[in-house]
């Protein structure tokens, strides 16, 4: 199964989360290259030396750009779900598009968004 990381997953990498790192390594061993929406990366990236673990994690990820189509789909999803977090919406849009699971610690926020779509979202808590 494909994976999309949200901000909590990237923060988990920074904090050396055993659960996140084990999930990431298992994905890589299975030939899965986890996806990181560029908007998520922007949420957590500060460019400090303390983010060395995050930098290492990102070498085993595919960073997906926020293009116009995805931005519009995220905005529509926010409207349907009556929320305003476009970054979370983009995570759900991409997970839906690629039939991917989401790695997060914000299960409830993502489930509200997913409920506005005709898909079932697989969530991996970290």
Q: What percent of the chain has pLDDT over 70?
A: 100
Q: Is the predicted pLDDT of residue 1 greater than 90, yes or no?
A: no
Identify the residue whose tokens are 């790192």. Answer: 21
Note down the domain range covering 99: 2-125
DSSP per position, 28-68: HHTT---EEEHHHHHHH----GGGHHHHHHHTTSEEEP--H
What is the number of domains present in the chain?
1
DSSP letter for 119, please. S
Write down the pLDDT at residue 49.
Answer: 87
CA of residue 60 relative to chain centroid, distance: 14
Contact 53, 16 (CB under 8 A): yes
Q: Taking residues 22-29, what's their average pLDDT? A: 97
Tell me which of 48 and 77 has the higher pLDDT.
77
Q: Is the predicted pLDDT of residue 66 greater than 90, yes or no?
A: yes
Whichever domain contains 96, its CATH number is 3.40.50.1010
């Amino acid at each position: 199964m494909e994976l999309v990381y949200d901000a909590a997953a990237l923060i988990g990498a920074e904090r050396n989360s055993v659960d996140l790192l084990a999930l990431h390594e298992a994905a890589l061993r299975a030939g899965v290259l986890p996806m990181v929406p560029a908007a998520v990366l922007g949420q957590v990236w500060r460019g400090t030396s303390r983010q060395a673990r995050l930098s290492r994690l990102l070498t085993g990820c595919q960073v997906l750009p926020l293009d116009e189509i995805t931005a519009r789909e995220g905005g529509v999803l926010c409207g349907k779900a009556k929320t305003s977090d476009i970054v979370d919406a983009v995570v759900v849009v991409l997970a839906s598009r690629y039939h991917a699971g989401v790695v997060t610690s914000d299960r409830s926020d993502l489930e509200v968004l997913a409920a506005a779509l005709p898909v079932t979202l697989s969530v991996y808590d970290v």
